[in-house]
Structure 1
Amino acid sequence: MSGHGFHVHGPHDHELEHAASGGGHGHEAGGMSMTSKIAMCTAVIATFGAIFSYMGGATQANAGLYKNNAAIKKTEASNQWNYFQSKSTKQALAEFARDTATDDKRQGWQVKVSRYEQEKTEIQAAAKKLEEEASRWDAQSEEQMHQHHRWAQATTVLQVSIALAAIALLTRKKWLERAMFGVAAAGFAVGVLAALHI
């Protein structure tokens, strides 16, 4: 009955007053509690983790797109080589016809042989160009997959850091808090490697 000058504290009143005055065991020198510090760092780590995860997804999508482009160019190159083969067959038949033709028709067959030879040269150049393009797309796909793996590694390490933060909050172990910061630093380092295509 506080109206008569007598007040009874509830069991939690003392703890609330103690925490409000800065005497809670979660406070450190400088006024920020371990809980607040870990919560703030976890939010930063989670933000970077989300960015790294997005970048990992984007590079994986690019790798698939580039691999698809390579497959298209390989198919086009194969078509050109088939076309080249058909011209070679026609040229061989024209050469046979030329060699077995009478003198008055031999010149006409020689024109066809020369035309097929010229066409084969152009087709061969186009096929080689398509093969080179396919190789470039394949190389870009491999580069994107490597970068995707780096982003995935960075994301995973940051997730481990967040898990350590949760355990540190529950157990209030200082060494777990330090481990959280160390693992987070490693995750950021791997993210830098991904950004630099290393």
Structure 2
Amino acid sequence: MSGHGFHVHGPHDHELEHAAHGNDQFSSRIAVMTAIMATVGALIGYEGGATQNEAAMLKNSAAIKKTEAANKWNYYQAKSSKQNLAELAISLPGTDVEKYKADVERYKKEKEDIKKEAEGFEKEVLHLEEQSENALHQHHRWAQAMTAVQIAISLAAIALLTKKNWLQYGSYAVAAGGIVISGFAWFHL
């Protein structure tokens, strides 16, 4: 549309304008249903984005915990090396055997604690990765629902242009399918 009073409408815009100003029940029903579908689609899109972000955050947390577990296992290995050196020192002539025996026992105790911490981190990693996979599955359901709603809106536009009742009902059916799929997403199915 230009500032000089001349403007060009697309066919869809023209039909929507007539629907808004006329008494055409067919067009009015489709216009209202399209607005409802667009609103539902916006809500579904929001949920889809939220679950995608949640999946990414959980995967990131799992990676951080995995790094912490690896660090603990490296620390465990360092203590094992020190324990091995202390055990070797016990057999060398002229060393303080009691000191090295005490060191061996201390390293064994420290390794037990480190091992428990590392295994705890590994359990957290598995739990976070499982939660991330569940959130990603839920995101896929939301995306499927959003796709169905977008297809329903497109069918509604085609029904409006062609004035075909079967397309109108097809649009409603696809929108209902999208709502059913969003129910699956909502209930984590």
Task: State TM-score, norm by structure 1.
Answer: 0.82
Task: Report how many aligned residue pairs link the two structures.
Answer: 168
Instruction: Give, in angstroms, the shift of residue 101 of structure 1.
Output: 4.0
Q: Which has the larger radius of gyration?
A: 1
- 1:138-179 CA distance string (max 9 Å, x none): 111111111111101100100000000000000000110110
Aligned 1:42-191 pairs, distance under 5 A: 42-102=34-94, 105-191=96-182
In 2, Cα distance between the equivalents of 1:143 and 1:109?
A: 51
> In structure 2, what residue type is equivalent to 1:107?
E
Displacement of 1:108 in angstroms is 1.1
Secondary structure (helix, strand or coil) at the match of 1:197 reads coil
SS at match of 1:100: coil
Unaligned residue ranges in structure 1 (runs of 5+): 1-21, 27-32
Aligned to 1:4: none
**Hey, what does 1:14 align to over in structure 2?**
none
Distance 2:107 2:173 in 1: 69
- Give distance in 1, aligned partners of 2:91 and 2:106: 16
Q: Deviations over 1:58-117 (max 9, x none)?
A: 111111111110000000000000000000000000001012244x72111100000000
Matched residue SS, 2:142? helix
Question: How much identity, in percent, do the aligned residues show?
Answer: 48
Distance in 2 (CA, whole Å) between partners of 1:89 and 1:117 is 11
SS class of match (1:43): helix
* Whole-angstrom distance in 2 between the partners of 1:61 and 1:187: 21
Q: Where in structure 2 are there 5+ consecutive unaligned residues? A: 1-21
Amino acid at match of 1:192: G
Give me the CA root mean square deviation: 1.4
Deviation at 1:134, TM superposition (A): 1.0
